[in-house]
Chains A and B, each alone.
Chain A
Amino acid sequence: SQQGEEDPQALSIQEGENATMNCSYKTSINNLQWYRQNSGRGLVHLILIRSNEREKHSGRLRVTLDTSKKSSSLLITASRAADTASYFCATRPADDYKLSFGAGTTVTVRA
């Protein structure tokens, strides 16, 4: 079973708009990570946020973490066609090393 659940499953936006996707999880975590996957290719690590952090930025990406609600969000600002991909959250439990991936959010950026 998957620890993280992304919402929405799919998102279609216009170039230049912002895209927000959410991830909810069930158990205590050590960290939460976001990855991007272009169709049929390997996942690319985007950002890691630790359980004691609330917000993190990387370029046009902003990640928030609310451990009380067991949820995280990924915001992509000023989206580009190249941002079209599937985005996955992955959680590392507090007492384990393995990552559990959610089902992903498919983002389509229209030109």
Chain B
Amino acid sequence: DSGVTQTPKHLITATGQRVTLRCSPRSGDLSVYWYQQSLDQGLQFLIQYYNGEERAKGNILERFSAQQFPDLHSELNLSSLELGDSALYFCASSVVGGGEQYFGPGTRLTVT
């Protein structure tokens, strides 16, 4: 158990819908990262937050947004969902940016 929790574990929704994925980092970790893993794209970095502020941005679509709250939990919002958004979404946390990351169990999103 990494100490990082993600909810929900599974999500099935229809195209065009909007979903919110939630992540609670390990106690004491200030950085939160979001990744998307799919068979064709591999593991893609989406975005990083550090102590509530956006620190780095990767291949995140404009339809996706994220935030980190004062209690350090983070949410990833995915809107206008498409079939291609079906993937595993991982959250990870670390004490500082750029160091070893601890991954949550992931949320499996299926868009039908």
Interface stretch, picked from B12-20, B68-76, B99-107, is B99-107
Contacts A42-B104, A96-B56, A101-B42 known; A48 to B99 CB distance under 8 Å? Answer: yes
Identity of the chain B residue whose Cβ is nearest the Cβ of A33 in the assembled complex: B100
Contacts of B105 in A (CB 8 A): 41-42
CB distance from A57 to the nearest CB of B (A): 16
Residues of A within 8 A of B104 (CB): 42
- With contact pairs A96-B56, A97-B55, A98-B48 given, residues A104 and B42 touching in the complex (Cβ less than 8 Å): yes
* Residue ID in chain A nearest B58 by CB atoms: A98
A45, B98: Cβ atoms closer than 8 Å: no
Rounded to whole Å, the gap between the CB of A92 and the closest CB of chain B is 5
Chain B's interface: helix, strand, loop or mixed, by majority? strand
**Min C-beta distance of B95 to chain A, whole Å:** 12
Residue A88 at the chain B interface, CB threshold 8 Å:
yes
Chain A residues near B43: list those with CB within 8 A: 43, 88, 101, 104
Distance A97 CA – B48 CA, assembled complex (angstroms): 9
* Chain B 60-97 residues near chain A, CB threshold 8 A: 88, 90, 92, 97
In the complex, which of the residues B48, B55, B103, B108 contacts A43, with contact meaning CB atoms closer than 8 Å? B103
Cβ-defined contact, A45 with B100, below 8 A: yes
Please judge, given known A-B contacts A96-B56, A98-B48, A98-B56, whether A45 and B42 are in contact too, CB under 8 Å: no
